[in-house]
């Protein structure tokens, strides 16, 4: 079976919609184009399984705007000004007596959205395991895809909750597993990615399904070798490398990178992306806000520009506004210009991050000159001179974190990076009494 990666809009088919929004109910109508969940779980064919793949990929995008606002505002990458909701400048920044609320949108929506996607993946796993209408290789392809996405979605929730932990075992909605701490959750996520790796290695040369154009960078240019499990495995290993550095397993990160799409060159934007469109039935990029907007704003923290090295082309990620914007005692003159339209893709993981993971792992395993070489790929690729500082572990960690700050700006990393290295105290406090949070609280509706 020949399969090519294709662009498509996420249509409102009944199966995809029902899995993205679990509160919706599916009527038991004998319509082969709109199967019930029960029919998908019992001897599903490839069309039904492929609907589940589409629904799972669609669900990954739900409420990512709120997720990015959480990590970006707490991490002092940017301000989120809203005429409708002051909590972006109060709760998230710890203004006065404000604390993070366990029963409001910035906590519950990202948590619920990620577990919706996990539910989709679990249904796909159960369905692929409970059908005789696919080959063993096709089954392995579905399982490899589902477990990779499930691991990614769990990692996003853990990123917010940190030491408060997450539920990893949610296979049975009527009997949820316990909330486990950060270390246990990372171990489980790494295990899921390794399980997915084994599935993908047994999935043959092609998938029985297509994915969005967000994966097209991984396509081999040889038309006789279309996108397949080996290409998706590079995404899986890229995520495994990210998880490995979070676990401080730096030799494991280097090993994972060997199977990823890492290229030690300036092909920085090669990667995997969320995709969007303004077509009917799809959604647009929730992070895009046009230049000089009013009302709803995302504005670069002034320190991003003030701390930059002259000549750094990554300053093009922001632009001077015609007039400064002010709210709640906070002011910025800089719009974020990472996206130029509401249909631009949003990176899940890019080669530039992989180079920086490589540099970090080399620092931590004592190969300091290799780390300098990798950091210089980043520096010179953005118009800076090669690194000329001390070649010591501590100095290179500081340099690596600086390059991650500018290379991965507006991609949801700075808060996590400084937290990993116990450097949250380096984040700027803009108003007396503001706080820098370490973790988000477990949502109230979890009953914990």
Boundaries of every domain in the chain: 15-75+92-207, 211-280+349-425, 297-336
List the one residue out of 75, 71, 145, 55 whose CA is nearest residue 106. 71
Q: Is 211-280+349-425 in CATH node 1.25.40.390?
A: yes
pLDDT the model gives residue 226: 78
**How far is the CA of 85 from the CAs of 80, 194, 200, 290, in angstroms?**
10, 41, 44, 19
Residue 24 pLDDT greater than 90, yes or no: no
From the list 401, 350, 412, the residue with the least C-alpha distance to 371 is 401
Q: State the Cα–Cα distance between residues 67 and 53, nearest whole angstrom.
A: 23
Mean pLDDT value of segment 315-335: 98
Beta strands in 36-91 (DSSP E): 78-81
- Helix or strand holding residue 16 (H, E): helix 14-20
Q: What is the pLDDT of residue 8?
A: 39
Q: What six digits make up the tokens of 13?
A: 């088919």
pLDDT of residue 312: 98
Cα 410 to Cα 219: distance, rounded to the nearest angstrom: 26
Kindly list the distances between the CA atom of residue 40 and the CA atoms of 118, 141, 410, in Å, as whole numbers in the listed order: 16, 17, 38
Kindly state the helix (H) or strand (E) to which residue 328 belongs, with its residue range.
none
Predicted confidence (pLDDT) per residue in 202-212, tens digit: 999 999 999 99
Give the pLDDT of residue 354: 98
The residue-averaged pLDDT of 339-351 equals: 98
- pTM strictly above 0.85: yes
Buried b (16+ CB within 10 A) or exposed e, 15-36: bbbbbbeeeeebeeeeeeebbb
Find the mean pLDDT for residues 65-89: 97
Counting residues of the chain whose pLDDT is more than 90, the rounded percentage is 87
Task: Look at the alpha carbons of 394, 396, 400, 406 in this order and tell me if their dihedral is positive or negative.
Answer: positive
Ramachandran angles phi, psi of 195, nearest 5°: -60, -45
Q: Per-residue pLDDT for 279 more than 80?
A: yes
Task: Supply 231's token pair.
Answer: 């290409």
Instruction: Give the pair of three-digit tokens for residue 379.
Output: 């520096």
pLDDT (0 to 100) of residue 77: 98
Residue 418 has what DSSP assignment? H
Q: What share of the chain is helix, strand, coil (3-state, %, to 5)?
A: 50, 10, 45
Give the model's confidence band at 222: pLDDT under 50 very low, under 70 low, under 90 confident, else very high. Answer: low
Sheet holding 318-327, edge to edge: 78-81, 297-300, 330-336, 318-327
| 294, 407 Cβ separation under 8 angstroms | no
Sequence-distant (6+) residues with CB within 8 A of 310 are none
What fold does the segment set 15-75+92-207 form as a domain? 1.25.40
Give the mean model confidence (pLDDT) for residues 80-89: 96
Q: Predicted confidence band at 6 (pLDDT cuts at 50, 70, 90)?
A: very low
Average pLDDT score over residue span 288-311: 97
CB atoms within 10 A of CB 318: 24
Half-sphere exposure of 430 (CA within 13 A, CB side): 23
pLDDT tens figures, 110-155:
999 999 999 999 999 999 999 999 999 999 999 999 999 999 999 9
CA-nearest of 348, 384, 361, 337 to 269 is 348
Identify the bridge partners of residue 332 per DSSP, sorted by sequence position. 325
pLDDT top residue among 220 and 120:
120
- Rounded to the nearest integer, the mean pLDDT of the chain is 92
pLDDT band (50, 70, 90) for residue 182: very high
User: Above 90 in pLDDT, residue 157?
Assistant: yes
SS3 state of residue 42: coil
Cα–Cα distances (Å) from 45 to 40, 124, 128, 132, 250, in that order, read 8, 12, 9, 8, 41
15-75+92-207 against 211-280+349-425: fold identical: yes
CB < 8 Å & 24+ apart, contacts of 184-192: 185/154, 185/158, 186/158, 186/243, 186/246, 186/247, 187/247, 188/154, 189/151, 189/154, 189/155, 189/158, 189/243, 190/151, 190/240, 190/243, 190/244, 190/247, 192/147, 192/148, 192/150, 192/151, 192/154
The label of the residue with tokens 């996206």 reads 339
pLDDT band at 158 (very low <50, low <70, confident <90, very high): very high
Q: Torsions phi, psi of 326, nearest 5?
A: -135, 140
Give the C-alpha separation, 115 to 244, whole Å.
22
C-alpha distance from residue 3 to each of 50, 114, 210, 229 (Å): 13, 28, 7, 11
Q: Over 70: is that where the pLDDT of 21 sits?
A: no
């Amino acid at each position: 079976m020949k399969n090519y990666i294709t662009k498509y809009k996420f249509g409102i088919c009944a199966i995809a919609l029902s899995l993205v929004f679990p509160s919706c109910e599916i009527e038991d109508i004998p319509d082969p184009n709109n199967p019930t969940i029960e029919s998908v779980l019992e001897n599903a064919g490839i069309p039904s399984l492929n609907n589940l793949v589409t629904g799972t990929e669609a669900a990954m995008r739900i409420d990512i705007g709120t997720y990015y606002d959480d990590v970006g505002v707490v991490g002092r990458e940017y301000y989120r000004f809203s005429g409708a909701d002051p909590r972006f400048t109060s709760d998230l920044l710890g203004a006065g007596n404000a604390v993070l609320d366990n029963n409001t949108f910035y906590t519950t929506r990202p948590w619920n959205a990620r577990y919706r996607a996990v539910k989709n993946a679990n249904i796909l796993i159960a369905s692929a395991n409970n059908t005789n209408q696919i080959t063993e290789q096709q089954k392995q392809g579905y399982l490899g895809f589902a477990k990779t996405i499930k691991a990614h979605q769990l990692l996003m929730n853990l990123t917010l909750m940190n030491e408060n932990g997450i539920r990893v075992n949610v296979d049975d909605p009527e009997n949820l597993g316990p909330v486990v701490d950060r270390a246990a959750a990372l171990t489980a996520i790494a295990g899921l990615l390794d399980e997915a790796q084994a599935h993908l290695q047994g999935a043959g040369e092609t998938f029985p399904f297509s994915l969005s154009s967000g994966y097209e960078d991984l396509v081999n240019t040889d038309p006789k070798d279309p996108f397949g499990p080996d290409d998706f495995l590079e995404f899986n290993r890229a995520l495994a490398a990210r998880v490995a550095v979070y676990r401080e397993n730096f030799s494991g990160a280097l090993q994972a990178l060997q199977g990823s799409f890492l290229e030690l060159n300036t092909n920085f934007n090669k990667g995997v992306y969320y995709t969007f469109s303004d077509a009917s039935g799809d959604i647009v990029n929730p992070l895009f806000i046009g230049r000089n907007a009013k009302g709803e704003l995302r504005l670069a923290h002034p320190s991003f520009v003030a701390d930059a090295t002259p000549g750094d082309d990554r300053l093009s990620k922001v632009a001077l506004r015609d007039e400064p914007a002010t709210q709640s005692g906070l002011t910025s003159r800089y719009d974020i210009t990472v996206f130029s339209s509401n249909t631009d893709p949003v990176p899940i993981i890019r080669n530039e991050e992989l180079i920086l993971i490589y540099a970090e792992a080399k620092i931590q395993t004592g190969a300091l000159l290799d780390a300098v070489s990798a950091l210089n790929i980043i520096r010179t690729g953005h118009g800076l001179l090669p690194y000329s500082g001390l070649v010591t572990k501590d100095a290179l960690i500081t340099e690596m974190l600086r390059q991650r700050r500018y290379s991965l700006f507006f991609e949801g990393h700075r808060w996590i990076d400084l937290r990993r290295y116990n450097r949250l105290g380096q984040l700027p406090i803009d108003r007396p009494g503001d706080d820098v949070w370490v973790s988000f609280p477990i949502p109230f509706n979890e009953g914990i």
